[in-house]
């Protein structure tokens, strides 16, 4: 049995990871995000399909280092044996040229995507070191592989995730902890609604005329990555909708 901690489990890719891993008999799920009501309904939904899956959820804002430390330290003893960390919590805010950007948006992205990922990793690594099948999955992005117009700070945060993934792979090697980056292209989740601050019409247009990836597509990939034998690790994986070649080269019907 492996215990998986998923950050940002209340929506999109994180919630899909919980749903997919719940279909296997060898995972216990530790789910966190800021929205408690979402975590409760996800837990109920999973339990209605898979009543035997062990789930523990807790609220967490990954930007708050003290809260991260407190939340992990106060997990019930039986949930302290974490084997897998999925660093998924993240967001984009705005899509403006750098010179027009909102510095509060920059802070939110850097604090969540970079500093939050670091705080959670630093706190959980001592627990992972005790596991014989430890694995960190970092959710990067195509935005961590290239820069697209107006993507500036979001792209910078995902380039940082790319660098941190490589750094973890090196620094955690002596402990046998696997480290994998999953870098998706366009995935239809609440991501664009968050980026455009609730403008549903603008968010919907991002996916107009294409079949984007779904959270489940990414979760199925993660299920595969986690299922590989102990001696095999996927370091870095770029996964795109068939209709998308790069961040901006997209064929729309
Ligand atoms: P969603 O907006 O659907 O989900 C984002 C999740 O992150 C939510 O569960 C949210 O929970 C959580 N989150 C945001 N801020 C915080 C915080 N401060 N503390 C804790 N949790 C937080 O988007 P996605 O599922 O698409 O995004 C998941 C990851 O995938 C992100 O890292 C994103 O950058 C990345 N990604 C997304 C792509 C896409 O096209 N959708 C493509 C490539 C990468 P809550 O609000 O309840 O805290
Ligand atoms: C999310 C995908 O293309 O908006 O990381 O950067 S994109």
**pLDDT tens, 170-225?**
999 999 999 999 999 999 999 999 999 999 999 999 999 999 999 999 999 999 99
Domain ranges of the chain: 2-239
- The conformational region for residue 122 under phi > 0 = left, psi -120 to 50 = alpha, else beta, is alpha
User: Whose Cα sits closest to atom 44 in ligand 1?
Assistant: 141
With 0-12 / 13-18 / 19 or more C-beta atoms within 10 angstroms meaning exposed / middle / buried, residue 221 is buried
Ligand 2 mean position to 129 CA, how many Å? Answer: 32
Query: Ligand 2 in contact with 247 (CB < 6 A)?
Result: yes
Low-confidence stretches of the chain (pLDDT < 50) are: none
Give a three-class secondary structure readout of 148-206: CCCCHHHHHHHHHHHHHHHHHHHHCHHHCCEEEEEEECCEECCHHHHHCCCCHHHHHHH
> Which ligand is nearest the CA of 88, by number?
1
Ligand 2 mean position to 182 CA, how many Å? Answer: 13
User: Whose Cα sits closest to atom 3 in ligand 2?
Assistant: 247
Query: Ligand 1 in contact with 11 (CB < 6 A)?
Result: yes
Query: Ligand 1 in contact with 181 (CB < 6 A)?
Result: no
Specify the ligand 1 atom closest to the Cα of 16: 25
pLDDT computed for residue 68 by the predictor = 98
Residues whose CB falls within 8 Å of the CB of residue 53, separated by 6 or more in sequence, listed in order = 22, 27, 28, 29, 46, 47
pLDDT computed for residue 139 by the predictor = 99
Share of the chain above pLDDT 70, in %: 100
Is the pTM here over 0.95, yes or no? yes
Ligand 2 mean position to 3 CA, how many Å? Answer: 29
Ligand 2 mean position to 52 CA, how many Å? Answer: 35
pLDDT computed for residue 150 by the predictor = 98
Superfamily assignment of 2-239 in CATH? NAD(P)-binding Rossmann-like Domain (3.40.50.720)
Predicted ipTM? 0.99
pLDDT computed for residue 233 by the predictor = 98
Q: Chain-centre distance of CA 29, in angstroms?
A: 14
**What amino acid positions are annotated as catalytic residues?**
154
Are 117 and 139 in contact by the 8 Å Cβ rule? The answer is no
Q: What is the pLDDT of residues 146-157, one digit of tens each?
A: 999 999 999 999
Please name every residue paired with 239 in a beta bridge, in sequence order, or none if there are none: 184
User: Whose Cα sits closest to atom 41 in ligand 1?
Assistant: 187
Cβ–Cβ contacts within 10 Å for residue 209, how many? 10
């Amino acid at each position: 049995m492996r215990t998986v901690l998923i950050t940002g489990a209340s929506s999109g890719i994180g919630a899909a990871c919980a749903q997919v891993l719940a279909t296997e008999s060898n995972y216990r799920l530790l789910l966190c995000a800021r929205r408690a009501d979402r975590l409760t309904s996800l837990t109920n939904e999973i339990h209605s399909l898979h009543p035997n899956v062990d789930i523990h959820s807790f609220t967490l804002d990954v930007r708050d280092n003290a809260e991260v430390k407190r939340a992990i330290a106060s997990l019930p003893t039986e949930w302290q044996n974490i084997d897998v960390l999925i660093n998924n919590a993240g967001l984009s805010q705005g899509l403006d040229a750098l010179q027009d950007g909102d510095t509060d948006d920059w802070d939110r992205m850097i604090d969540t995507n970079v500093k939050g990922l670091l705080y959670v990793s630093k706190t959980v690594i001592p627990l992972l070191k005790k596991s014989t099948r430890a694995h960190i999955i970092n959710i990067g992005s195509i935005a961590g592989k290239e820069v697209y117009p107006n993507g500036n700070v979001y792209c910078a945060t995902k380039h940082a995730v790319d660098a941190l993934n490589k750094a973890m792979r090196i620094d955690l090697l002596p402990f046998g902890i696997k480290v994998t980056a999953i870098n998706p292209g366009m995935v239809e989740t609440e991501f664009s609604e968050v980026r455009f601050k609730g403008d549903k019409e603008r968010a919907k247009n991002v996916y107009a005329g294409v079949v984007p990836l779904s959270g489940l597509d990414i979760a199925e990939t993660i299920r595969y990555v986690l299922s590989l034998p102990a001696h095999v690790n996927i370091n870095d994986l770029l996964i795109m909708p068939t209709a998308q070649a790069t961040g901006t080269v997209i064929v729309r019907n």
